[in-house]
Amino acid sequence: MTEFWNAMSVLLSPDGIVFAVIGFLIGCIGGALVGIGGALTTALVIPFTLSMTPEHAMIILVAVYSGVSYAGSIPSILINVPGGPSSAASTLDGYPMARKGEAATAISISATASAMGAILGGIAFILAVPFLAYVANLFGSQEFLMFGVFGLASIIAASGTGILKGFMAGILGALLACVGASLLDANPRFTFGIGELYDGIDLAAAMIGVFAFAEMVRLSQNPSSIAGMLIGRGSIWRGIVMTLKEWKGILRGAGIGMWVGLIPGEGGTVATFMSYVTEKQMSKEPEKFGQGHPGGIAGPEAANNSVIAGALVPTLTFGIPGSVSTALLLTALTLHGLRPGPSILTQDVVVLYTIIGSILVGGVLTMAVGLALSRPLSLLTIIPVPVLVPLVCVLSVIGIYASAFNYSHIFVALGAGVLGYAFVRFDYPIVAFLLGFIVGPLAEENFMRSYQLTGGRPYLIFERPLSALLLVLSILILLRPLYRAWKEYRQRKNAAAAG
Amino acid sequence: MAEQDNQLLEEVPDVSSKSVPENSLSSLVFTAVILAVGCVFLAQSITIGSQAAVWPRMLSIALVACAALRLILQASRYLVGRGTVGMDGPAGEAQPGGLRALWSGEAAWRRLFTTVWLVAYCIIARYAGFGPTALVFIPVYMWVCGFRKPLWIILITLAALASYTVLFDTLVSVPVWSNRL
């Protein structure tokens, strides 16, 4: 409990609160700008956090995550264009409500439900920590290796772009992470005689390249602003009252969000749509869904924000990120010298509680700052793209340099940008690539340890029950899309035979 | 339930840009590039004589296998598409989102300009410094890409550079205005 109060003293200190507010505001700006989104915003903030203490860095990054999760719904509601995929469900009832002249009411529902979802998720996470510590201690190097495989399998299966593509992206990521001095004997691997590659491919540079550069090139094709006009009015108070009336939906949404967040690769989009469908089915007036029903905003928004806590469980406990944003948080933890996994539950407990506390603070900020700034934030949707692109590009370039004071990292980021753009264009899952890149070195370490422990007979890994179970689960998860495709094929065949 | 899900997803606007079709030549070439990368890594890993080669060798074999399988599958689809579409090219290249569509028109020009301008910024900033280069890079980009409000361009550029100076020079000690990087 001492660690919990130590974390709270850091979090609730003037510095902690200032960092949380700054992070939340940055997240709101990134979330409200269509095309920027959570991943890019987090990637851009990471270099600034490197000179901070790990606790302050986590406060600012979790606050960014909270801000993005909330503000993504602002363009969804105002202009029917989601700030990110996880905010897409909010367009279904948020935009019709805005068209009825109730935009402020819809934003207020979104903020209140988001805050409640984040707070419920944070509380559930605090309660789960002792149990997670017990589970994580059951894991040895073999189990970690297999959990890495399980995480990658989950993300590949959930990516929806095909198993082969997912595998290729993940393996390529892990292979590129091998570049530089070997973990085993410090001899250089795959450097091709380039001295700058001896330290490996810089994680921060790769992240910013994949997200920022690729996204800016893609966004630059649009000559105008993200939104041409704004629709606003309604009542913030009315929205709060309407949200409180939907308390059952918020509880359901928060539960769905936490559960879905636990599964690597699923994330906010799945959670919000699951919550929307559940609310529609359980509502006494399902016919009003799609026409501006508050339940259609409250449930999904609660789910979208409780996902944060759920997704952080596998990220922190096992080092397996559930989404791109959590992959970036994992990157930040690694850059700060912290090692996600069971050790964070025993050795870095203050950082862990700071992260959980930041989720709760993010919930409070969503309610207080988010509601107050909903109108100014909506103005961000009218920034012209030709203004946005050079500003983000220059920020990214200086940010990469600031992360390690090494100019060659900027050229690494340019290369990563080309790869990121190609991945988007050819529909390869970037999350699988990132997971491979981040988890690759950890997996190699655990693999080599297991290899040595089993005397060069790696199949003995599966004599351990938990490892075998994780392998079976990984295979089942990978077979799921194939089974679905086979089922669809059978249905089509039956329909053709009947018709 | 599944029907409802599909209906809901159809109502959501597509915010992502269109992908290049699977059965296009460019998609085939990209898979071939990944295969080549896998082969290069495999060849390199063979030259490593220690246990440090085990993991990357396994990965590169897996990458080569996956990429080769995908290449075969894509090539068969490409050839089938070519047979049905005729001499004008395989299915996909002329479709919306295809490579030809991707690199034609004003949108393509904008993407190309952004890429070239960004690379130029990265190269020049090394010798001239981040700040002085941005002083040219930001306003010229805005003007060329269609934002024709000179006063706003000047104000935005100055405000952005002031912010970068405070953020990076003051807080993180990055020499924004120096060319000694």
Task: Tell me if chain B has a CB within 8 Å of the CB of A22.
Answer: no
Instruction: Give B178's contacts in chain A (Cβ within 8 Å).
Output: none
- Is A225 in a helix, a strand, or coil? strand
- The residues, any chain, with a CB within 8 Å of residue A380's CB and separated by 6 or more, are A29, A32, A33
Average pLDDT over residues B135-144: 95
Q: How far, in Å, CA of A335 to CA of A206, rounded?
A: 13
- Residue A35 above 70 pLDDT? no
Average pLDDT over residues B141-145: 93
Average pLDDT over residues B139-155: 93
Residue B12 is predicted with a pLDDT of 35
Q: How confident is the model at residue A78 (pLDDT cuts 50, 70, 90)?
A: confident
pLDDT in tens, B10-42: 333 333 456 778 778 889 999 999 999 999 999
| Range of weakest confidence among A159-168, A360-369, B6-15, B137-146 | B6-15
- Is A432 in a helix, a strand, or coil? helix
Binary contact (A183, B62; C-beta < 8 A):
no
Q: Structure tokens of A193? A: 């005689």
At A297, the amino acid letter reads: I
Q: Structure tokens of A394? A: 């220059």
Binary contact (A424, B16; C-beta < 8 A):
yes
The reply to whether A496 falls in a domain is no
CB A48 within 8 A of CB B167: yes
Q: How far, in Å, CA of A49 to CA of A22, rounded?
A: 12
Exposed/middle/buried for residue A223 (C-beta within 10 Å: 0-12, 13-18, 19+): middle
Q: What are phi and psi of A140, to 5 degrees?
A: -110, -170
Q: Average per-residue pLDDT in chain A?
A: 82
3-state secondary structure A391-427: HHHHHHHHHHHHHHCCCHHHHHHHHHHHHHHHHHHCC
- Taking the alpha carbons at both ends of chain A, their separation in whole angstroms is 66
- Residue B151 above 80 pLDDT? yes
Q: Structure tokens of A412? A: 């690494």
Average pLDDT over residues B70-87: 74
The helix/strand count (H/E) of chain B reads as 8, 0
Average pLDDT over residues A346-369: 85
Binary contact (A81, B15; C-beta < 8 A):
yes
The reply to whether A60 falls in a domain is yes
Give the mutation candidate from B77, B122, B143 for the A interface (greatest A CB count, under 10 A): B122
Token pair 């991943």: residue: A39
pLDDT in tens, A110-122: 889 988 998 998 8
Q: How confident is the model at residue A8 (pLDDT cuts 50, 70, 90)?
A: confident
Q: Where are the domains of chain B?
A: 17-102, 106-172
Highest average pLDDT, of A332-346, A479-493, B128-142, comes from B128-142
Q: How far is CA B176 from CA A81, A353, B172, in A?
A: 36, 36, 10
Instruction: Give A182's contacts in chain B (Cβ within 8 Å).
Output: 50, 52
Q: How far, in Å, CA of A84 to CA of A209, rounded?
A: 19
CB A78 within 8 A of CB A261: no
Q: How far is CA A353 from CA A268, A334, A345, A402, B152, in A?
A: 23, 17, 9, 28, 45
CB B176 within 8 A of CB B168: yes
Q: How confident is the model at residue B140 (pLDDT cuts 50, 70, 90)?
A: very high
pLDDT in tens, A221-257: 877 654 444 445 567 788 888 888 889 999 999 998 8
Q: How confident is the model at residue A487 (pLDDT cuts 50, 70, 90)?
A: confident
Instruction: Give A426's contacts in chain B (Cβ within 8 Å).
Output: 19-20, 26-27, 30
- Is B174 in a helix, a strand, or coil? coil
The reply to whether A497 falls in a domain is no
Instruction: Give B169's contacts in chain A (Cβ within 8 Å).
Output: none
- Residue A431 above 60 pLDDT? yes
Apex A171 CA angle, A446 and A402, nearest 5: 85
Q: Average per-residue pLDDT in chain B?
A: 80
Task: Tell me if chain B has a CB within 8 Å of the CB of A197.
Answer: no
- Residue B2 above 70 pLDDT? no
Distance from CA of A321 to the nearest CA of B (A): 21
Q: How far, in Å, CA of B70 to CA of B79, rounded?
A: 14
Give the mutation candidate from A26, A324, A401 for the B interface (greatest B CB count, under 10 A): A401
Instruction: Give B135's contacts in chain A (Cβ within 8 Å).
Output: none
Q: What are phi and psi of A384, to 5 degrees?
A: -65, 145
Q: How many domains does chain A have?
A: 1
Task: List the domain range (segments joined by +) for residue A476.
Answer: 2-491
Residue of A nearest to B23 (CA): A426
Distance from CA of A12 to the nearest CA of B (A): 22
